[in-house]
Amino acid sequence: MSELKRCYVCGRLVPRAVTLTLASQEEEEARPALTIEVNLCPACARRWASELLQAAEAAEEAGRGEAGGGVAS
């Protein structure tokens, strides 16, 4: 049996790390996917994924019309 780990956000015990992968939906973009592996419980993983998606969408909108289209922090 594997060792339990603590959720990075709320401290609940989790059996394994969750892997979140962000990839471009645009076919013309040849960017590699960003993969994050972190100890998260299912509820925190859903919240993090939702927040990352919202941040990516906001960065896309902010980058339209700008040279480079960098990610806002």
* Torsion on CA atoms 33, 35, 41, 46, rounded to nearest 10: -20
CA–CA separation, 9 vs 34, rounded Å? 20
CB 33 within 8 A of CB 22: yes
Domain ranges of the chain: 5-63
Question: What is the 8-class DSSP label of residue 72?
Answer: P
Cα separations (Å) of 32 from 38, 62, 63, 66? 19, 21, 18, 21
Average pLDDT, stretch 24-47? Answer: 80
Q: Please give the average per-residue pLDDT across 44-62, as a whole number.
A: 85
pLDDT at position 4 is 92
**Reported pTM:** 0.58
